[in-house]
């Protein structure tokens, strides 16, 4: 009986030892055509290089790597050639592609490859979507049709890739859901910014010449608003064209208003320093016209969905929107628009 127990124990031990344990590292190999670089690097989400792999003269490379967590990393040969890669210890990946085209040419094969291939297709689909703002000009029925089509296309991409990591599937599903929530929310908001809609207002903005001004201060006139900041290069390039536009329409029924959205976080957290910088900038640049500062009030930017500056807005004498995203002063189209209104 004792002998049988020992034999049983030995057999069990052998079986347990012969089980295949997951590798505590992953393997990356591949070959890049038209390669001119000596290394291919992998970066984590913080931008820290966690591995540099030498590339042979024929474009081939191979190495092992242990990652601290399963995640999306960045594969890069130089600053302009980069692509996402999904890594998990135990993966055995082979990558082929063209070093010149890089991300658009990469193909992954081997254990774990479907994750990275899926991410690349997902990115390409988002690129095809383009600027989401183009959807906001659609009529409601057309918008809903487009959104439903996009949802089906994104779901189809997700379901077409098998053996993906559950964590990635959950992450992408959540990301897609947030994308469509963003589109639907902003479409509803954009309806408020259509031509003829009551214009969102601003109230009690600081005037560089003293006192405070509100949009209602200019009722009865067309109002051309320039939303800008002292740190914004493209904004600064519009200063002279705006000055010339103001001079050309000086005797017309239109007010040219520049609203600075400079904020304290760019000035050591001090709102006082921010205001001083704004005032000094206006004086140094000899900026004419109506110069206002929004201070802590972000409501105007939010209601006009301003995610980038400069932004130009044209409002009619009744306080209704003519164009919530009007042409810049440097664009000849602005004169065509103003002249069409018989200002």
The model's pLDDT over 108-148, given as tens digits with 9 standing for 90+, comes to 999 999 999 999 999 999 888 877 777 887 889 999 999 99
**Hey, do 26-111 and 205-340 end up sharing a CATH topology, with the first three levels equal?**
no
d(CA 176, CA 172): 6
Token output for 198:
């009551």
d(CA 134, CA 249): 31
Indicate the helix (H) or strand (E) that contains 72. Answer: strand 71-78
Strands 290-293 and 254-260 come out as parallel
Q: What is the DSSP letter of 188?
A: H
d(CA 119, CA 106): 11
pLDDT at 189: 83
Task: Examine residue 310 and say whether the peptide bond preceding it is cis (omega within 30 degrees of 0).
Answer: yes
Entry field: residues in the chain: 343
pLDDT at 13: 42
The residue extents of the domains of the chain are: 26-111, 130-192, 205-340
pLDDT at 14: 41
Task: Write out pLDDT tens, residues 57-87.
Answer: 999 999 999 999 999 999 999 989 999 999 9
Contact partners, residue 267, CB within 8 Å, separation at least 6: 273, 274, 277
Which residue in 275, 328, 303, 306 sits closest to 202, CA to CA?
303
Q: Which CATH superfamily is domain 205-340 in?
A: Glutaredoxin (3.40.30.10)
pLDDT at 135: 86
Asked if the 26-111 domain carries CATH number 2.40.50, the reply is no
Token output for 89:
């210890």
pLDDT at 22: 61
CA angle 161, 163, 166 (to 5 degrees): 100
pLDDT of 16 higher than 80: no
pLDDT of 322 higher than 70: yes
pLDDT at 336: 96
Which residues face 224 on adjacent strands? 256, 314
């Amino acid at each position: 009986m004792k002998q049988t127990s020992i034999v049983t124990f030995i057999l069990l031990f052998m079986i347990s030892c012969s089980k295949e344990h997951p590798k505590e590292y992953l393997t990356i190999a591949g070959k890049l055509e038209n390669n001119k670089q000596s290394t291919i690097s992998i970066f984590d989400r913080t931008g820290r290089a966690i591995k540099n792999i030498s590339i042979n003269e024929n474009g081939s490379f191979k190495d092992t790597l242990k990652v601290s967590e399963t995640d999306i990393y960045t594969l890069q040969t130089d600053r302009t050639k980069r692509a996402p890669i999904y890594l998990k210890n135990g993966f055995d990946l082979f990558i082929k592609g063209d070093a010149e085209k890089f991300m658009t040419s990469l193909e992954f094969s081997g254990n774990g490859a479907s994750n990275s291939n899926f991410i690349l297709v997902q990115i390409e689909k988002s690129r095809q979507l383009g600027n989401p703002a183009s959807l906001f000009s659609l009529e409601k029925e057309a918008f809903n049709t487009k959104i439903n089509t996009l949802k089906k296309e994104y779901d189809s991409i997700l379901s077409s890739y098998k053996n993906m990591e559950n964590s990635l599937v959950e992450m992408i599903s959540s990301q897609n859901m947030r994308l469509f929530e963003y589109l639907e929310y902003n479409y509803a908001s954009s309806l408020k910014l259509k031509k003829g809609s009551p214009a969102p207002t601003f109230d009690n903005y600081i005037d560089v010449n003293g006192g405070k001004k509100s949009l209602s201060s200019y009722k009865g006139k067309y109002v051309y608003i320039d939303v800008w900041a002292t740190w914004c290069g493209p904004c600064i390039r519009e200063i002279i064209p705006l000055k010339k536009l103001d001079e050309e329409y000086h005797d017309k029924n239109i007010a040219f208003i520049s609203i600075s959205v400079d904020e304290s976080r760019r000035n050591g957290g001090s709102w006082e320093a921010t205001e001083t910088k704004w005032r000094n900038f206006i004086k140094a640049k000899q900026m004419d016209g109506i110069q206002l500062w929004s201070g802590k009030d972000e409501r105007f930017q939010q209601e006009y969905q301003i995610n980038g500056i400069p932004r130009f807005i044209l409002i009619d004498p009744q306080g209704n929107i003519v164009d919530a995203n009007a042409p810049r002063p440097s664009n000849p189209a602005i004169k065509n628009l103003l002249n069409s209104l018989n200002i």
